[in-house]
């Protein structure tokens, strides 16, 4: 289920700088693409800290998805895959294009990440806790700093 096999995307910030510096050539190398967020998986997490998930479009700040608004009969909820891994499968894959934000909010606070679909290669992105905005400011001490957030996509 969760152990092993976690891929990496590489240094997204470095790729973004290369695109900016290379202008039109970079834009041709990284064309805009549409992806569908299928699931969010947390590795090395505590079972009592399942966050609510919000997905926003960067340009319009429009809310694309909120797990808080789901009814109990949708069947979408966190599923414990093993002792330290849980997955939230979207009831319907969420369409993302260009810049988007994934915000997670739990009892200990909130943390988020920004991504651009141009730089996502393959079907998966894995980010470490140090790559998540505001993760280090969470309210409870002793939280597991080895958290990995895995986003799984489908292409259009």
Instruction: For residues 57-84, give the mean pLDDT.
Output: 81
Residue whose entry in the numeric block shows the structure tokens 């309210």: 139
Pick the CATH number of 12-155 from 2.60.40.1110, 1.10.260.40, 1.10.20.60, 2.40.50.100: 2.60.40.1110
**Whether pLDDT at 9 is above 50:** no
Q: Note the helical H segments in the chain.
A: 12-29
C-alpha–C-alpha distance, residues 66 and 71, integer Å: 11
Mean local confidence (pLDDT), 63-89: 82
The rounded mean pLDDT for the chain is 80
CA–CA separation, 67 and 88 (whole Å): 9
Quick one: pLDDT at residue 69?
A: 76
Q: How far apart are CA 91 and CA 107, in angstroms?
A: 23
Average pLDDT in the 102-126 region?
Answer: 91
Give yes or no for residue 28 having a pLDDT over 80.
no
């Amino acid at each position: 289920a969760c152990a092993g096999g976690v891929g990496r995307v590489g240094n997204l910030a470095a790729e973004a700088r290369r695109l900016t510096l290379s202008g039109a050539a970079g834009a041709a190398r990284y064309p805009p693409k549409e992806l569908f967020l299928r699931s969010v998986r947390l590795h090395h997490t505590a079972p009592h800290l399942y966050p609510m998930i919000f997905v926003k479009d960067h340009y319009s700040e429009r809310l694309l998805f909120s797990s808080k608004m789901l009814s109990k009969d949708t069947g979408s909820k966190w599923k414990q895959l093993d002792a330290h891994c849980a997955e939230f499968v979207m009831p319907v894959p969420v369409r993302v294009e260009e810049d988007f934000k994934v915000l997670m909010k739990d009892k200990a606070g909130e943390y988020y990440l920004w991504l651009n679909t141009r730089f996502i290669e393959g079907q998966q992105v894995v980010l470490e806790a140090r790559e998540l905005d505001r993760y280090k400011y969470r309210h409870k001490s002793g939280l597991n700093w080895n958290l990995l957030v895995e986003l799984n996509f489908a292409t259009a």
